[in-house]
Amino acid sequence: MKSFKSGVIVGIIGSALVAAASAISYRQTVIKPAQKAEEHHDEVSKQAIRRSIAAHQSRF
């Protein structure tokens, strides 16, 4: 009975570690690149607006 309890505890801890590792890797591979792309798009858009205003032209 003791080995069963320790096996369940080890299984629960292992499952929790696997879930945490997969969440961290998902964040690194999917969420962060999407945020970087969005920030880059915003920066480029701001630069385009500044250039448009500097040239005394309408953006649209």
For the chain, the three-class secondary structure string (H helix, E strand, C coil) is CHHHHHHHHHHHHHHHHHHHHHHHHHHHHHHHHHHHHHHHHHHHHHHHHHHHHHCCCCCC
**What is the pTM for the complete model shown?**
0.62
Token digits for 55? 């040239």
pLDDT bin (cut points 50, 70, 90) of residue 59 is low
Which has the closest alpha carbon to 59: 21, 49, 28, 9? 49
**pLDDT tens readout for residues 5-51:** 999 999 999 999 999 999 999 999 999 999 999 999 999 999 888 88
Residue 58 pLDDT exceeds 80: no
